[in-house]
Amino acid sequence: MSSLTHFDEQGRSRMVDVTGKNDTVREAVAEGYIKMSPETLDMLIEGKMAKGRNVFEVARVAAVMAVKKTSDIIPMCHPLLITGVDVYFEPDKENSLVNIQVKAKLAGKTGIEMEALTGVSVAALTIYDMCKAVDKNMVIGDIRLMKKSGGKSGTFIREE
């Protein structure tokens, strides 16, 4: 495993200097889920939440905003010029959850994994916020990087 790049030789935190790196097309895909009661999932799918009929669209916008603002909340992340974000929701009635996927893309000097992971997290938190009046037992889980491409380290694909 390589050394931690966000610390210098004296152990002080730092933002990694990417000045000398070349721009490359970089993409990342992150996933996670929010588990809820079957009744809550039905209400969500049917657009019957008191805070809004289309919770998924509010969560989609929240995810896109989170991707764009990641450097404002994760201290060592670089501000990035995001060129694309796609957000997908897949209700799973059998397991009473909603799978969330965020794909993010840019052409730049540093990766976009943190942005995709932040997007998934904020989408799940937004769904929680909009559904908590009927279900405070919801669980957000398994947020993880599924794939990343571009840059010096090349392609990563999670093997599950």
The residues carrying an active-site annotation are 129
Angle, helices 38-46/113-131, rounded to nearest 10 degrees: 100
Closest CA relative to residue 119, chosen from 78, 79, 69: 69
Strand order in the sheet with 139-149: 82-92, 97-108, 24-35, 139-149, 156-157
Sequence-ordered list of residues with C-beta below 8 angstroms from that of 135, at least 6 positions apart, any chain: 36, 37, 39, 40
**Rounded Cα distance, 93 and 37, in Å:** 10
Quick check: 102 and 30 in contact, CB under 8 A?
Answer: yes
